Chains A and B, each alone.
Chain A
Amino acid sequence: MRTGARTIVWSAALTVLLGAVVVVSAAIGPVSLDYANVAKATVNTLAVPASAGLSVSSVSLPLLPVSVPVPGFDVGYVHPFSLAVPETDQRIVGKLRLPRIALAGAVGFALASAGTVMQGFFRNPMADPSIIGVSSGAAVGAVAALALPGVVPIGPRWAAFAGALATAFLVYAIATEDGRTPVATLLLAGVAVQTLLGAVVSYLLVLSGDQLREAMYWLMGNLHASTWSDVEFALPVAVLGFAALSAFAQDLNVLLLGEEDATHLGVEVERTKRLLLALSSLVTAAAVAVAGVIGFVGLVVPHMMRLLVGPDHRILLPTSALAGASFLVTADTLARSGPAEVPVGIVTAAIGAPFFLFLLRRREVSAL
C-alpha cells in the first residue's frame, strides 16, 4: 500500500521532529537547562489517563439566587516513567514550561488539521479554520466574558468555545437552503458574519475598561498563562476530532473533484459536508478557546505539507497536524524567548505571511 507506507514514514519522521522541538523548546528559557535532563524530565511528565470519574460542582448564576449543578470530569493520571532528574529541573520543565509547550502543540495540531480539511472542503487555497466565523465567534465570547464579567456567567474559555460553535452553526444555517449548503454561499456568509462580529468585538473593547489589555492579549492569540487544565481541555478534542476527520480522508479526496463528481462516486455530499464542518469547527473552537485567535497556522501549514507530500488527504491530514504542532511550538518558543514576551499570534503572522507570499510568488499556491 503505497500511500499507507508513505504516511507511516512521514508521520514517524514528523513525530520525531515534534519530540525534538519540544525538548529544545523546554530547554530554552530564563534558566537554561541541560538537554539530557530536559528530555528525561519531559518523559517523566508523560501521563496516561488511568481512571475517570464524574463530579458535580455548583455554580451560582449572576442576578439570580439559584445554584446550578455543573458536571465535571475528574481524570486520574499515571506517570509511567520516573527517570532520575534534579528536582528543580523537573519542576521547571514539568510545571512551568511543558504545559505551555503541550498546549502550543495541541493548538497547532488542531488548527492545522482543521485548516487542511477546510481547504479541501472549500476547494479554496485561501480557506482556513476561521473562514466560517469560528474565530470571530470565539472572540466575541471571550471578550464579552472579560469585559462584562457580571453579565456573562462563564469564564472566557467556555464563553469562547460556546461563541465559536454558535457562530459556526449560525453561518451554516444562513447558508443552507432545502438541505443544500453551497460552499460559495457558506464562504460569503462566513465573511459577512465575521465582519459583523468584528464590530461587536470592537464595541465590547470600548466597554471593557480595565480589562482592555487582557482582552487585546486574548485577541492576539497567546499561550502565556497556560496550565495543564487548558491542555486537558484542548488536547482530547483535538485528538478525537482529528481521528474523526481522518475517517473522511478519502471522502475529502473525492470531494476535491467537485461535489457532483463526488456524488457520482458514492459520497453523500451534503451529509459529509455537514459532518466535516461540525468536526472542524469543534476542533478549531477548542483551540481558539484556550489560545485565542492564532492566524496563519491553519492556512500555511497545510500548504507547506501539500508541497511536500502531495494533495492526498490520507497522508496530508496526519502530516499537517503533526507539522502544525511543531510549527506552533517553535513559534511560541520564539514568542517567549525574545527580549519581551509577545503574543504568539504576532509571531505566527510574522512568519506565516512572508512565507505565504513566498509561496505565492513561486506560483505554488496559485497552481492549487
Chain B
Amino acid sequence: MIDIESVRVSLGGAEVLSGVSASVERGSFVGLVGPNGAGKTTLLRTVSAALTPDSGRVLVDGDDVHALSSKAASRRVAVVPQETHLSFSFDVETVVEMGRHPYRSRFGRKTDADRDAVAKAMERTAVARFADRSIEGISGGERQRVLLARALAQDAPVLLLDEPTASLDVNHQVETLELVTDLVADGKTAVAAIHDLDLAARYCDELLLITDGDLLAAGPPVQVLSESRLADAFDTNAVVSRDGTTGSVSVTALADRPDADGTVHVVGGGETGARVLDALRSAGFGRTAGPLPEGDAAAETARVQGVDLLTSSPFDPIDGEMIDALADRVAAADVTVLADPVVTPGNRDVLSVVRDARTLVVVETRPFEERNHAGEGAREAYESLRRGATVVTEDDVTAAVRELRRTVTAESA
C-alpha cells in the first residue's frame, strides 16, 4: 500500500532522514518507534506529502504522492495531526465536515455522500453527542477523537497518525488505539508514530524502528524490540519481557541497571520461568537458561533478553548431549534456580544434574504432584533435591539468589 523508496529529507539544511526504505502492507497497522528527533514525524510528513524529499519517493497505492495534487493526495491519505491549530472556535461538526473538503467543488453544496461520511465518522469516533460544542470547549481526548473523525470523513484508505496517544491519559490511549485497530480490521492501512513502546508493541502489526534518520529494524514487534536494538536506539538500558496478560512484549526502561555479580542458571519454563528470568534480569544477574522447548514463554523471554539458552525440541526426550551442556552451565553458574519444573520421563535426567549444583534455589508455585508425570522415582529424586535447596515462592527468588550468592562468595574467599 505504501512504498517508501530511499527517502532522504533535509530540514533547515540538516539531514533528518538519510535514505529510508520501507513498505507497509495494505490492511496493516504499522508503528513508527524511535527516540525523539529520530525522524518519525518527518517520515510521516513525507508520506503525507507535506514535505518533499530531496531524493527518493513515496508510492501510495502505486502513485507517487508528491506528484499528485493536494486534492488527489488527500483522497488517498488522511492525517490525524498531534494537535491542530484552531485559532478560531469552530464547532465540532464543522471541523469534521472539513474532512470532506477534498471532495467538494468550490461552489458545490453538500452531497448526500458528504453528509453520510460525516455522520458515520462522528458515530464511529463517538463525537456525535458533542457535535454542536465548540472545538475549544472539549477535552484533549475528545479533540483527538474529533481529529480522527475528520480524517475518517476523508474516506482515504491510508491513515497516518502522529503521536495519537501523546497527550492522552492511559484510558484514552487504549481507547484510541483500539479504534485504530478496528479501522484497520475494516480494511484501512494505518501508520502511527507512537512514543510508548508497550502500546506500539501491543497494537501494531509491525514496527519500524527509526534512529538518527535511519531505519534500524522493521518487522513484528517481538522481533524489532530486542534489548540490544533498544540499547542502540535509545541509548538506555531497557528490559524487554513478555507480557503475560496480552501476550505482546513489554518494555521497561531502567534509569540505571543494577549490576549484581554472578550468573544464575534457570531451569524450568512457562510463565514462572519467564518471571524468574525477568526478576533476575532486573536485579542485574547474568543468566543462562534451559533446556527449554521452543515456543515456551520463558524461552521467548530468554530470546528477547539475549539470554544464553539451551533449546530442546518440544516433544523429544532430553538427550545425553543436552545433559552434558546443562551440566556445564550449572557448573559455571554461581546459583541454579529450578523454577516450578514439570517433570516428564523425557526430562527427569535434568533433576540429577541440577542436584549437583553448587547452590540451588527451588521456586514452587504449584504442588509437585500436579507437575509430576514421571512417577514415584521422580518424586523421590525431587524430594531429595529439594532438601538440599532453598525453597521459595516466585516473589522471593531474587532475595534468595542474592543471599546464596553472598554465601558462595564468602566461602570461596
Interface residues of A (CB under 8 A from B): 1, 4, 120, 123-125, 247-248, 250-251, 253-254, 256-258, 260-261, 263-269, 306, 310-312, 367-368
Which of B45, B99, B101, B106 is close to A260, meaning CB atoms less than 8 Å apart? B45
**B88 interface hit (Cβ, 8 Å):** yes
Q: How far does the alpha carbon of A292 sit from the alpha carbon of B50 in the complex, in Å?
A: 41
**B133 interface hit (Cβ, 8 Å):** no
A-B contact pairs, 9 of them (CB 8 A): A251-B101, A253-B90, A253-B98, A261-B85, A264-B81, A265-B150, A266-B70, A311-B88, A368-B88
Q: How far does the alpha carbon of A248 sit from the alpha carbon of B136 in the complex, in Å?
A: 24
The answer on a CB contact under 8 Å between B104 and A260 is no
The answer on a CB contact under 8 Å between B90 and A368 is no
Q: How far does the alpha carbon of A306 sit from the alpha carbon of B87 in the complex, in Å?
A: 12
Chain B residues with CB under 8 A of A268 = 69-71
**B49 interface hit (Cβ, 8 Å):** yes
**B315 interface hit (Cβ, 8 Å):** no
The answer on a CB contact under 8 Å between B87 and A368 is yes
**Of A120, A247, A250, A265, most B-chain CB atoms within 10 Å:** A265
**Which residues of B in the span 151-178 have a Cβ within 8 Å of any Cβ on A?**
154
**B37 interface hit (Cβ, 8 Å):** no
**B94 interface hit (Cβ, 8 Å):** yes
Closest to A311 in B: B88
Q: How far does the alpha carbon of A265 sit from the alpha carbon of B69 in the complex, in Å?
A: 11
Chain B residues with CB under 8 A of A254 = 98, 101
The answer on a CB contact under 8 Å between B71 and A266 is yes
Which of B70, B77, B78, B99 is close to A269, meaning CB atoms less than 8 Å apart? B70
The answer on a CB contact under 8 Å between B70 and A267 is yes
The answer on a CB contact under 8 Å between A263 and B49 is yes
The distance from the CB of B261 to the nearest CB of chain A, in whole angstroms, is 53
**Of B71, B98, B102, B150, most A-chain CB atoms within 10 Å:** B98
Interface residues of B (CB under 8 A from A): 45, 48-50, 69-71, 73-75, 77-79, 81, 84-91, 94-95, 98-99, 101-102, 104, 106-107, 109-110, 136, 150, 154
The answer on a CB contact under 8 Å between A266 and B74 is yes
The distance from the CB of B81 to the nearest CB of chain A, in whole angstroms, is 6
Chain A residues with CB under 8 A of B77 = 264
Which of A4, A250, A264 is close to B50, meaning CB atoms less than 8 Å apart? A264
Chain A residues with CB under 8 A of B136 = 367
The answer on a CB contact under 8 Å between A123 and B85 is yes
Closest 5 CB pairs of A and B: A266-B102, A311-B88, A266-B74, A258-B85, A266-B71
Given A125-B87, A256-B88, A258-B85; 14 other pairs, CB 8 A cutoff:
A1-B109, A247-B106, A248-B106, A253-B90, A253-B94, A256-B87, A258-B81, A260-B45, A260-B50, A264-B77, A264-B79, A265-B74, A268-B71, A310-B91
Chain A residues with CB under 8 A of B48 = 263-264
Chain A residues with CB under 8 A of B95 = 257
The distance from the CB of A335 to the nearest CB of chain B, in whole angstroms, is 32
Closest to B160 in A: A264
Closest to A306 in B: B88
The distance from the CB of A112 to the nearest CB of chain B, in whole angstroms, is 17
Closest to B103 in A: A266
Given contacts A260-B45, A263-B70, contact A123 B101 (CB under 8 A): no
Which of A248, A256, A269 is close to B86, meaning CB atoms less than 8 Å apart? A256
The answer on a CB contact under 8 Å between A265 and B50 is no
Closest to B134 in A: A310
The distance from the CB of B1 to the nearest CB of chain A, in whole angstroms, is 17
Q: How far does the alpha carbon of A75 sit from the alpha carbon of B150 in the complex, in Å?
A: 49
Chain A residues with CB under 8 A of B49 = 263
The distance from the CB of A36 to the nearest CB of chain B, in whole angstroms, is 40
The answer on a CB contact under 8 Å between A265 and B45 is no
Chain B residues with CB under 8 A of A311 = 88-90
Closest to A272 in B: B70
Closest to B100 in A: A265
The distance from the CB of A251 to the nearest CB of chain B, in whole angstroms, is 8
Closest to A265 in B: B101
Chain B residues with CB under 8 A of A310 = 89-91
Q: How far does the alpha carbon of A254 sit from the alpha carbon of B106 in the complex, in Å?
A: 13
Chain B residues with CB under 8 A of A264 = 48, 50, 74, 77-79, 81
Q: How far does the alpha carbon of A8 sit from the alpha carbon of B84 in the complex, in Å?
A: 30
Chain B residues with CB under 8 A of A125 = 87
Given contacts A256-B87, A266-B74, A268-B69, contact A261 B81 (CB under 8 A): yes
Chain B residues with CB under 8 A of A251 = 101
The distance from the CB of B340 to the nearest CB of chain A, in whole angstroms, is 54
The answer on a CB contact under 8 Å between B109 and A367 is no
The answer on a CB contact under 8 Å between A265 and B154 is yes
The distance from the CB of A217 to the nearest CB of chain B, in whole angstroms, is 37
The distance from the CB of A124 to the nearest CB of chain B, in whole angstroms, is 8
Q: How far does the alpha carbon of A212 sit from the alpha carbon of B73 in the complex, in Å?
A: 57
The distance from the CB of A356 to the nearest CB of chain B, in whole angstroms, is 17
**Of A260, A261, A266, A311, most B-chain CB atoms within 10 Å:** A266
Chain B residues with CB under 8 A of A247 = 106-107
The answer on a CB contact under 8 Å between B101 and A250 is yes
Given contacts A123-B87, A253-B90, A311-B89, contact A266 B81 (CB under 8 A): no
The distance from the CB of B137 to the nearest CB of chain A, in whole angstroms, is 11
The distance from the CB of A95 to the nearest CB of chain B, in whole angstroms, is 39
Chain A residues with CB under 8 A of B154 = 265
Chain A residues with CB under 8 A of B74 = 263-266
Given contacts A247-B106, A261-B84, A263-B50, contact A312 B90 (CB under 8 A): yes
The distance from the CB of A315 to the nearest CB of chain B, in whole angstroms, is 11
Closest to A260 in B: B50
Chain B residues with CB under 8 A of A306 = 88
The distance from the CB of B44 to the nearest CB of chain A, in whole angstroms, is 11
Closest to B107 in A: A247
Q: How far does the alpha carbon of A263 sit from the alpha carbon of B45 in the complex, in Å?
A: 11
The answer on a CB contact under 8 Å between A257 and B110 is no
Chain B residues with CB under 8 A of A257 = 84-86, 95, 98
The distance from the CB of A119 to the nearest CB of chain B, in whole angstroms, is 9
Q: How far does the alpha carbon of A368 sit from the alpha carbon of B134 in the complex, in Å?
A: 12
The answer on a CB contact under 8 Å between B110 and A260 is no
Q: How far does the alpha carbon of A120 sit from the alpha carbon of B87 in the complex, in Å?
A: 9
The distance from the CB of B54 to the nearest CB of chain A, in whole angstroms, is 13
The distance from the CB of B186 to the nearest CB of chain A, in whole angstroms, is 21
Q: How far does the alpha carbon of A62 sit from the alpha carbon of B301 in the complex, in Å?
A: 92
